[in-house]
């Protein structure tokens, strides 16, 4: 699955432009999701130096990701244009309705959805 993961307030506890401590189980969950084969896009409003600081923090903490604010390769060709909103099967954000669940719950939800998304990809031919 393609996962778009917000950075500020989602992976860490701080508020932009500061970077706080990792949210409980965020690092472990993201590592396991990557190990499980998911494509992780860091979806953030950061750009310039704040984005560089973010990437360095992710690398320092060994948090895996595939892209920052960019589509998974092949998506643009599939849909015919490079939309500003990155395409993902799931979006993980602290600003979602109901707030951010605990990362253990996020991981378990994604695991519960893998078969559904795999079947949908096969049926509809999406990435």
Tell me the per-residue pLDDT of 54-96, one tens digit each, with 9 for 90 and over: 999 999 999 999 999 999 998 888 777 778 889 999 999 999 9
Q: What is the pLDDT of residue 64?
A: 98
pLDDT at site 77: 81
What are the two backbone dihedrals, phi and then psi, of residue 40, each rounded to the nearest 5 degrees?
Answer: -110, 120
Other C-beta atoms closer than 10 Å to the C-beta of 8 total 22
């Amino acid at each position: 699955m393609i996962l778009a993961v917000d950075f500020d307030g989602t992976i860490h506890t701080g508020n932009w432009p500061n970077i706080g401590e990792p949210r409980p189980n965020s690092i472990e969950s993201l590592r396991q999701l990557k190990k499980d084969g998911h494509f992780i896009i860091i979806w953030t409003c950061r750009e310039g130096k704040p984005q560089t600081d973010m990437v360095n923090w992710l690398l320092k903490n060994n948090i895996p990701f595939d892209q920052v604010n960019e589509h998974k390769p092949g998506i643009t060709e599939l849909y015919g244009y490079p939309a500003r909103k990155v395409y993902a099967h799931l979006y993980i954000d602290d600003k979602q309705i109901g707030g951010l669940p605990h990362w253990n719950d996020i991981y378990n939800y994604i695991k519960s959805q893998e078969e559904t998304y795999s079947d949908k990809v096969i049926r509809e031919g999406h990435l």
